[in-house]
Amino acid sequence: MAAIAAATAGAVKVGLVPFTNEVNPGTGICSGCIDWTNWSAQGAAEVPPNTTGPGDDCPYSYGCRSPATNSSTNTIPSTGGTKGYICPWAYTSSSKVDGTNGHYFMGCFTSTATGSQTQISSGRRASCSGYSASNCSCSGSGSSTTCKTNTWTHTSWVAETDHSLWKGCVTDRTQDYDIQNTQPSGSASGFVADNNDYCPGAAIYNLSYDWTTLSTKVNAMAASGSTNQAIGVAHGWQMLTPGDPYSTPSVPANTSRVIILFSDGLNTQDRWYGNGSTEGSSYDASIDTRMNLACTAAKTDGVVIYSIFVHIGTSGSSSALQSCATDSSKYYDLTSSSQIQTAFQDIAQKITAVRVSH
């Protein structure tokens, strides 16, 4: 990280926007800024089989979570206020390319006893495997053995309306707000609350001149998850825009607003496209398009964009990052980690020169 000297404390401020396929503004972000529409609607898991109820095994290949602890569980609760709640876990199919890969199903199905039983197996190998002993029983012997279990109706979807599971992460705003710096406001233009299991561990850090804290936070960041550079640009631009969601103050006249976009240059998943592993596909191209629109809009607004492409061990260039930079002198193509510090120092010198000229 390059530091820029300033004669007056606070004359230079830096913010951090770590991103994967989403960003983490934190749960303390302005409450009216969040769009909960998708959060409340998520949960289109298949209805559990009518043979599954309290005490039985989880019926989903992608697992269940405990409604009491939000941890993984193999067994449906059989006691307490959440008895019979069947809560799907995260959908992780690698074949998903619609942005839902890795998202948690929100809410739980309830179980209501029908008062009847149905046969689940018969013959010498018949058993109640996967079913609670209080629900299932076998009769007969040998080839005449039959096993029956209680049946249930699953008609209620209990939504997570209290938002208690939210970690503070948001995905792309509804198009075309995703490429704008319009101040967010609820379901119309708000930041879309997400429950993706790739929520960045590092939260966004607002503009500051606390260089010690900034340095600590930079050193603590680690690469993980899939990549959506468009959302990084969007939130970087939003942080440079007075008002919500980052309580950015009005800036003095002639203040330079700068985004330094640092990435491996590969867009692999956003809210609508990709599954995190596709590279060079039409899905990635769709994310590149959203990124280009966001970059163009930010530059039109007067933001200067530097982009740094780090491709250690690979060849080629990033057309998405090249296009995002304000001009060719502000695009850096790095093939070694040792070049990173030099690139940031060069950017710091260019920014300082712009400030002096003002």
Question: Is residue 140 included in any domain, yes or no?
Answer: no
- Residue 3 inside a domain? The answer is no
**Residues 100 and 244 placed together within one structural domain of the fold:** no
The band of 184, judged by pLDDT with boundaries at 50, 70 and 90, is very high
Amino acid, res. 123:
G
Same domain, 179 and 114: no
Rounded to an integer, the average pLDDT of 325-336 is 95
* DSSP secondary structure letters along 326-342: SSGGGEEEESSTHHHHH
Looking at the chain, the number of H-run helices and the number of E-run strands are 7, 17
In sequence order, what are the residues at sequence separation of 6 or more whose Cβ sits closer than 8 angstroms to the Cβ of residue 17?
23, 204, 232, 235, 236, 239
Residues in the chain: 358
The answer as to whether 315 is a domain residue is yes
Residue 5 inside a domain? The answer is: no
Mean pLDDT of 137-163: 89
| Whether residue 300 sits in one domain with residue 254 | yes
pLDDT above 60: residue 7? no
Residue 2 above 50 pLDDT?
Answer: no
Could you tell me if 185 and 112 lie in one domain?
A: no
Q: How many domains does the chain have?
A: 2
Among the candidates 162, 189, 224, a domain finishes at 162
Q: pLDDT category, 357, cuts 50, 70, 90?
A: very low
pLDDT of res. 145:
97
Selection from 9, 85, 23, 15 nearest residue 225 by Cα: 23
Question: Does residue 302 share a domain with residue 199?
Answer: yes
The pLDDT of residue 10 is above 80: no
Domain that holds residue 172: 14-33+166-357
Q: How far apart are the C-alpha atoms of 191 and 38, rounded to whole Å?
A: 11
Question: Given this model, what pLDDT does residue 278 score?
Answer: 66
Is the model's pLDDT at 95 over the cut of 70? Answer: no
Whether residue 155 is found in the same domain as residue 284: no
Query: Can you tell me the mean pLDDT for 213-220?
Result: 90
What are 250-291's pLDDT values in tens digits? Answer: 988 888 999 999 998 889 888 888 877 767 777 889 999 999
Cα–Cα distance, 116 to 65 (Å, whole number)? 27
Q: Same domain for 27 and 80?
A: no
Distance CA 341, CA 295 (A): 24
Q: Which is higher by pLDDT, 274 or 15?
A: 15
Task: Using the 3D structure, point to which of 162, 190, 219 is the last residue of a domain.
Answer: 162
Question: 316: which residues sit within 8 A by CB, 6+ positions away?
Answer: none
Whether 125 is covered by a domain: the verdict is no
20 lies in the same domain as 82: no
Mean pLDDT of 195-203: 77
Q: Does a structural domain hold residue 252?
A: yes
Q: Are residues 18 and 101 in the same domain?
A: no
Higher per-residue pLDDT: 269 or 18:
18
The percent of residues above 90 in pLDDT, for the chain, comes to: 56
Per-residue model confidence (pLDDT) at position 89: 80
Is the per-residue pLDDT at 1 higher than 50?
no
Q: Are residues 158 and 170 in the same domain?
A: no
Q: What is the pLDDT of residues 35-78, one digit of tens each?
A: 987 776 655 678 899 999 999 999 998 889 888 877 889 999 99
Structural domain includes residue 336: yes
> Is 299 found in the same domain as 185?
yes
Confidence label for 122 from pLDDT (cuts 50, 70 and 90): very high
Q: How far is CA 353 from CA 5, 8, 347, in A?
A: 12, 16, 10
Mean pLDDT (the chain, rounded)? 87
Same domain as 285, residue 156: no
Predicted confidence (pLDDT) per residue in 296-312, tens digit: 999 999 999 999 999 87
Q: Is residue 127 part of a domain?
A: no
The CATH number given to whatever domain includes residue 313 is: 3.40.50.410
